[in-house]
Amino acid sequence: MERVRACGIVCLVVGAAVSVAGCSQHAEPLSNGADPLEFAASFQKDGVTWTKVPEMTEADVRQLSEYFRRNPSVAENSLVAGDPVVYAAEPKGRRFYWSAATIEGVEWLCIEIGRGPVRMIDGRGDPFGDAAGHAEGS
């Protein structure tokens, strides 16, 4: 029940942020048969172990809502649709991943909260590799 409520809140927040921010970008249609991204149970990045969690918490929803309120252009991104895949790292790090298969391959976007300044990282291909993504702090 709590997961359903949290998922509904995220969709509502993202939808509201898109309406406030204006027109949203549209995803490129699939035409190359790119496989969707497979999310591992855990991964290690920069000496930190991230473990996939089964669902978002109410605290996750609040943090993402605040991030989207302060960064409405991120909410406009067509990748930010539906529920993210969530990873946790001790003591309080959270990563939220969205992905989509496009003409140019798999694209992904990650918002990292709780380990210093909030970061948005995006890229194509494997988000868990050593050279993955382009980061922007906020």
pLDDT at 69: 96
Q: For 28-47, what is each residue's pLDDT tens digit?
A: 444 345 557 889 999 998 88
- Quote the pTM value: 0.72
Question: What is the token pair recorded at 17?
Answer: 């942020």
Is the model more confident about 110 or about 15? 110
Q: Which residues, 6 or more positions from 125, have their beta carbon under 8 angstroms from its beta carbon?
A: 105, 106, 132
Q: For 93-129, what is each residue's pLDDT tens digit?
A: 999 999 998 888 899 999 999 988 999 999 998 888 7
Q: Taking every pair of C-alpha atoms in the chain, what is the biggest distance, in angstroms? A: 41
